[in-house]
Amino acid sequence: MKKYIRLFVCACIGLQALTACDDSFLEEELLNSYSPTNLRDLPGLEASVIGLYNHNSTFHSVSWAQGWVSVWQVGTDIVWPTQPQGMENPYFDYNTLTPLDGAADHTWNWSYTMINNANVIIQNVESPDLTAIADADKNRINAEARFFRGLAYNILATAFGGVPLITEPLTVPRTDFVRAPLAEVNQVILADLQFAAEHLPDIADLPANRHARANKYMANQLLAEVYLRVNQPALAEAQADVVINSGRFNLIKTRYGVKANQPGDPFSDMFIYGNQRRSQGNMEAIWVMEAENPRDVPGGMTDAPQHRRNWGASYHSRAGMLPADSLGGRGISRMRLNNWVLYDLYDAGDMRNSKYNIRREFYYNDPKEQYSNIYKTKVPYEGPDTLFIINPYITKWGHFDPQDVFGYGMWKDFILMRLGETYLLKAEAQFKQGNLAGAAESINELRRRANAPLVSATDITLDFILDERARELIGEENRRLTLMRTGTLVDRATRLNTNIPGLPANRQIQGLTQTHLLLPIPQNEIDLNKDAVIEQNPGYIR
């Protein structure tokens, strides 16, 4: 029995020793997340920069609101909404565009998330006690962070005007933000992009696996656009010229790439999966956001881009038609090119309107027996088919994964900047300086490649340049931001895309006014900012 007692006493003593009021017993250790303190060395900063690319992609890969892609296209001058998801509805029925709008909210939030993450990097890399990293590395990292901060502020400035200006990360929450004057925001954008243009590497010095990282010409191209927006056309032209004269890029004028031997043309080659990257022969590309099928490469893309589905026709809805690689995979036609684009925009023979770039004809492709009588015959138009079932569509976003025919996402590279646009930016800068002949020549660079008739100084107007942007960049450019930047949204959309015969009333543009040259500031931000007032843009009422 004494043995038991001794055991018992030992157990009690042991217990007290173990649980003695030791402070460390209640100290918490972060086991599976990074905290700010373990990201201040070179690998930590490099990873923080990768984070910016990840976040950047989320502007393009939204699938939680499938209408997001359409937000930036419908209600402008080029497309009709045909099967809208809902998020884009206020962007053609402008009467319903309010400060509660989801797309404006996401644009705002996305931008400030980018800005915060860039601010953390910029603050860390500029910290005087960071001595373990070489200046060259610091400048490169700083330049990448500033490029993305400039990009985000430029979207905010274009979409909302002057916005709260935050250039250092917050450590405690604030609720007293005020809008900075647009000029101040522009100053930050220009300074960031100038720093980036100076310190980012030349694309020619980058290995192929870093071609999708920021290079100095991306900063030049974006600077050109910003200078146009702030009405400094001479500086814009100079930036465009840096890109054009760098000798690093050229317009694709000959066939190349994985389908070079199949029917097609140089313009369509650029947008074929496997051809889009510089390392794959696309010497026109300045900035390609690379995507991989997430099934094969972890994190190959964030979310699931909806471009193919939104732009592509829903031809599979027709009995006898199957989703096919040659047709660019399965689309659902949330929007349709308008008749102005389809019938009035292009001159005869313009390569950019070839059947390889805009598909207009369909042939029954389901080999099943019950379709044998129509197999391979041309699909006739009937009923509402031309609205969203066999409507013509651009092929730029075509993508087909035989292992996933439904294809909720689209795992295809995004050409975010290319030399074709540089000429258009230059033309716009020349036009603004009254150099109409120069502008015509810049545009003719593109028209020569497209086998389109050449133009002369007398043809050049801002509208002509915007028409040419549509011809060259349709489906690629953010049409809404372009028209907002140039102040032409109301005029062009009204002139080219209203009162469409045959389009249901609830798909027509309604209520578009000058108010819509800026988006509404999200009401949520105004409400949560309880210690100061963020002024709403004029014309928007809650």
Taking CB under 8 A as the criterion, which residues in 99-158 touch other proteins? 100, 108-109, 112-113, 115-117, 119-120
Find the shortest distance in angstroms from Cβ 15 to other proteins: 5
Q: By CB under 8 A, which span of 74-82, 206-214, 357-365, 448-456 interacts with other proteins?
A: 206-214
Contacts for 58 with CB less than 8 Å, ≥ 6 apart: 110, 302, 303
**CB closer to other proteins, 155 vs 474:** 155
Rg, the chain, Cα only: 27
326 binds other proteins (CB under 8 A): no
Question: CB burial class (10 A; 0-12, 13-18, 19+) of residue 75?
Answer: buried
Q: Is position 180 an interface residue for other proteins (rule: CB under 8 A)?
A: no
* Nearest Cα to Cα of residue 496 among 486, 487, 509, 505: 509
What pairs with residue 358 in β-bridges? 394
Question: Residue 188 is inside which H or E element, if any?
Answer: helix 182-199
Q: Does 317 bind other proteins (CB under 8 A)?
A: yes
Taking Cα atoms as reference points, which of 159, 165, 525 lies closest to residue 533?
Answer: 525
Instruction: Determine, following the binding rule CB under 8 A, whether residue 17 of this chain makes contact with other proteins.
Output: no
Give me the amino acid identity at 348.
A
By CB under 8 A, the residues from 281 to 310 that bind other proteins are 290-292, 295-302
Within 207-226, the residues that bind other proteins by CB under 8 A are 207-213
* Segment (H or E) for 14: helix 2-18
d(CA 349, CA 456): 18
Cβ–Cβ < 8 Å for 321, 362: yes
Q: How far is the CB of 450 from other proteins (least distance, A)?
A: 31
Q: Are the C-beta atoms of 463 and 489 separated by less than 8 Å?
A: no
- Minimum CB separation of residue 122 from other proteins in Å reads 13
Q: Is 2 in the site for other proteins (CB under 8 A)?
A: no
In the bound complex, what is the minimum distance in angstroms from residue 366's beta carbon to other proteins?
Answer: 8
Give the length of the chain. Answer: 542
Q: Indicate whether 348 belongs to the interface with other proteins (CB under 8 A).
A: no
State which residue, 183 or 532, has the beta carbon closest to other proteins: 532
Contact between 29 and other proteins by CB under 8 A: the answer reads yes
| Position 513 contacts other proteins (CB under 8 A) | no
Counting residues that bind other proteins (by CB under 8 A) gives: 98
Contact call for residue 261 and other proteins (CB under 8 A):
no
Residue nearer to other proteins on the CB measure, 420 or 522: 522
Burial class (CB in 10 A: 0-12, 13-18, 19+), 403: exposed
Q: Does 53 bind other proteins (CB under 8 A)?
A: yes
Among 6, 10, 13, 98, binds other proteins (CB under 8 A): 98
Measured from the CB atom, the residue of 289 and 470 that comes closer to other proteins is: 289
Q: Which is nearer to other proteins, 95 or 377 (CB)?
A: 95
Q: Which of 13, 437, 528, 533 binds other proteins (CB under 8 A)?
A: 528
530 contributes a contact to other proteins by CB under 8 A: yes
- Is residue 367 a contact residue for other proteins (CB under 8 A)? no
From 93-101, 184-192, 193-201, 335-343, span contacting other proteins (CB under 8 A): 93-101
**In 200-325, alpha helices (H):** 216-229, 233-245, 266-269, 307-311
**What is the rounded distance in angstroms from the CA atom of residue 202 to the CA atom of residue 216?**
6
- Whether 527 and 109 have beta carbons less than 8 Å apart is answered as no
Maximum distance among all alpha carbons in the chain?
A: 113
Given 3, 5, 361, 499, the residue binding other proteins (CB under 8 A): 5
Residues 478 to 507 in contact with other proteins, rule: CB under 8 A: 504
In Å, how far from its chain's centre is CA 296?
23
Among 10, 13, 50, 437, binds other proteins (CB under 8 A): 50
Handedness of CA 488, 358, 421, 434 (dihedral sign): negative
- By the rule CB under 8 A, 384 interacts with other proteins: yes
369 binds other proteins (CB under 8 A): no
Using CB under 8 A as the binding rule, the residues of this chain from 422 to 461 that contact other proteins are none
**201 near other proteins, judged by CB under 8 A:** no
Q: Which is nearer to other proteins, 33 or 261 (by Cβ)?
A: 33
353 binds other proteins (CB under 8 A): no
CB of residue 451 vs other proteins: minimum separation in angstroms? 34
Give the footprint of other proteins on residues 387-416 (CB under 8 A).
Answer: 402-406
Q: Which has the closest alpha carbon to 97: 87, 82, 83?
A: 87
Q: Check residue 31 for interaction with other proteins (CB under 8 A).
A: yes
List of residues 6+ apart from 293 with CB closer than 8 A: 300, 301, 401, 411
Query: In this structure, what DSSP letter does residue 276 have?
Result: S
Which 8-state DSSP code applies to residue 537? P
Helix (H, G, I), strand (E, B) or coil at 324: coil
Does position 52 interact with other proteins (CB under 8 A)? The reply is yes
Least distance in Å: CB of 422 to other proteins? 23
CB of 448 to other proteins, least distance (A): 33
Q: What is the dihedral of CA 438, 441, 445, 451, to 10 degrees?
A: 160
